[in-house]
Amino acid sequence: MAQNTLRQTQSIEAGDHLSYMKLALSLATQSPPKPTNYRVGAVVVEVTTNEILSTGYTLELPGNTHAEQCCFEKLSEKHGVSASRLGEVLPDEVALYTTVEPCSHRLSGNLPCVERILAIGDKIKTVYVGVQEPEKFVSGNSSKQKLENAGIAFVHVAGLEKDILEVATAGHENPA
């Protein structure tokens, strides 16, 4: 997948948010369908150079891992720092693309993705989202408000909602 992802990303122009969201959606399709998870894809991009720093998808790494969490864990490993120090090694302007709004609460007890984003500090300037989190597992997701309160732009990338929800809810008995 790494070579395929690299080939895909070389053709994405800076600021082409829809193409980055399509890349995130292609990553989401690699997540195993389960009735207890949304299949989500995420991409971390350095805005200044338009370089993809990391990609991830739900359950890519061991444990009950979310897509954003996988991106950040892979970046932590790459830079040899703990997740709590990731902000020290990231470029000054980073964007996160995620097919589904980052979670604000984890039923598993893991750190919510919005808290992971906020812990990185002021490096992530914008979070681009394909759809807001459906109410199926946790109602009242407060991620958008938390991000905006921290000065992080929350931008909806329109056009793929139907496809994103179809992929996200694969494996669910009653899709959201």
Q: Is residue 173 part of a domain?
A: no
Q: Which two tokens stand for residue 69?
A: 């969490």
Closest listed residue to residue 100, CA positions, set 152, 167, 11: 167
Query: How far apart are the C-alpha atoms of 28 and 13, rounded to whole Å?
Result: 21
pLDDT over 90 percentage in the chain: 74
Residue 127 forms part of a structural domain? yes
Question: Is position 176 within any domain?
Answer: no
At 139 the pLDDT is: 62
Q: Report d(CA 128, CA 41) in Å as an integer.
A: 12
- Domain with 47, as residue range(s), is 2-168
174 within domain boundaries: no
Task: Read off the pTM.
Answer: 0.90
60 within some domain: yes
CB < 8 Å & 24+ apart, contacts of 171-175: 171/32, 171/33, 171/34, 171/35, 171/37, 171/39, 172/35, 172/136, 173/35
pLDDT of 10 = 58
In a domain, 77, yes or no: yes
CATH number at residue 39: 3.40.140.10
* pLDDT tens digits for range 140-165: 678 999 999 999 999 999 999 999 99
User: Catalytic amino acids?
Assistant: 68
pLDDT single digits (tens) 96-130:
999 999 998 877 768 999 999 999 989 999 999 99
Domain count along the chain: 1
How many helices (H) and strands (E) in the chain? 6, 5
Among residues 38, 49, 59, the alpha carbon closest in space to that of 164 is found at 38
